[in-house]
């Protein structure tokens, strides 16, 4: 099958349209966030061409908003890189989860998944496909969500870049951007661990606000990661694995093999005596 035919099949797949509908609810918040980020990039002194290049290539709103103030005040390059890397550490976790669904795809497609991946896409995808095993409708669903999210970000972001000098600061776009971020953030809080990590990060960011070069962001990230790892360790200690008795000549099913690898099941095999 040619690439054009494969793209056409993906666009016509019902899961592609389902994903677009699922993402429509957050598209307004993503668009407001992108508009504010585009305006901020130009207002901070970034040339229009470089701002458009950054929006298209970096495509990471939280990282862009984190490093733009540092670039504006002339922070050392290592601080800029470290801040962006810390802010985007969550994508390492996302990629480990995507592996269960997309490891069978060619490298070029996996690289494309990595570029288009995003927080809201991840949440919508995991709600739709909680079981970590490949299914035919997963690829069309991902591209439906990714296309909607990409357009919802890039169109307002580039519009904000081009119209930045015509948008007065009195419009309060900064506050609108905060509200948009809060809306996206709340959609990502789905269990006790994420709520705890968010509370710890907010507390640490406020407590370290006086640090120079916006280093309170790094402090907040480090505190949130530590809190998340602590919660995971506590949950693992409380969770007792299930014992499963297997006949001597039986083969462990794939589902139970995954549970064994995750530490949820401990298999005990019967011994055969002469």
Distance CA 272, CA 254 (A): 24
Backbone angles phi, psi at 210, to 5 degrees: -75, -10
Q: Is 50 helix (H, G, I), strand (E, B) or coil?
A: helix
Spatial neighbors of 104 by CB under 8 A, at least 6 apart, are 134
Backbone angles phi, psi at 89, to 5 degrees: -60, -30
How many residues comprise the chain?
274
Instruction: Give the pLDDT of residue 36.
Output: 84
- Residue numbers in the chain where pLDDT is lower than 70: 1-2, 168-181, 183-184, 187-188, 190, 213-214, 236, 238-274
Bridge-partner residues for 266, per DSSP? 243
Distance CA 79, CA 86 (A): 10
Mean pLDDT over the full length of the chain: 80
Instruction: Give the pLDDT of residue 243.
Output: 55
Torsion, Cα 23 144 86 50, to 10 degrees, reads -100
Kindly report the pTM of this predicted structure: 0.71
Tokens representing 70 are 């540092």
Asked if residues 220 and 205 have their Cβ atoms less than 8 Å apart, the reply is yes
Instruction: Give the pLDDT of residue 273.
Output: 46
Instruction: Give the pLDDT of residue 212.
Output: 78
Q: What percentage of residues in the chain have a pLDDT greater than 70?
A: 77
> What pLDDT, in 10s, does the model give residues 215-237?
787 788 788 878 877 877 777 67
Instruction: Give the pLDDT of residue 48.
Output: 93
């Amino acid at each position: 099958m040619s690439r054009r035919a494969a793209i056409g099949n993906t666009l016509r797949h019902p899961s592609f349209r389902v994903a677009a509908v699922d993402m429509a609810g957050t598209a307004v918040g993503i668009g407001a966030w992108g508009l504010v980020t585009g305006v901020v990039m130009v207002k901070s002194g970034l040339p229009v061409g470089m701002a458009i290049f950054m929006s298209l290539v970096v495509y990471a709103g939280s990282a862009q908003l984190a490093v733009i103030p540092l670039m504006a005040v002339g922070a050392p390059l290592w601080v800029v890189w470290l801040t962006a890397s810390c802010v985007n550490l969550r994508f390492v976790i996302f990629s480990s989860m995507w592996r269960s669904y997309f490891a069978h795809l060619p490298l070029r497609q996996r690289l494309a998944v990595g570029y288009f991946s995003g927080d809201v896409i991840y949440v919508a995808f995991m709600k739709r496909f909680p079981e970590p095993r490949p299914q035919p409708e997963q690829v069309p669903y991902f591209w439906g969500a990714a296309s909607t999210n990409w357009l919802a970000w890039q169109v307002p972001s580039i519009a904000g870049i081009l119209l930045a000098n015509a948008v007065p600061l009195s419009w309060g776009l900064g506050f609108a951007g905060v509200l948009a971020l809060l809306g996206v953030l709340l959609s990502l809080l789905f269990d006790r661990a994420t709520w705890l990590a968010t509370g710890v990060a907010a507390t640490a960011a406020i407590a370290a606000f006086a640090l120079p070069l916006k280093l309170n962001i790094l402090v907040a990230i480090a505190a949130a990661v530590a809190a998340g790892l602590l919660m995971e360790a506590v949950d693992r200690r409380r969770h007792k694995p299930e014992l499963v008795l297997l006949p001597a000549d039986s083969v462990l099913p794939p589902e139970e093999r995954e549970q064994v690898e995750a530490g949820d099941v401990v298999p005990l095999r019967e011994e055969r005596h002469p």
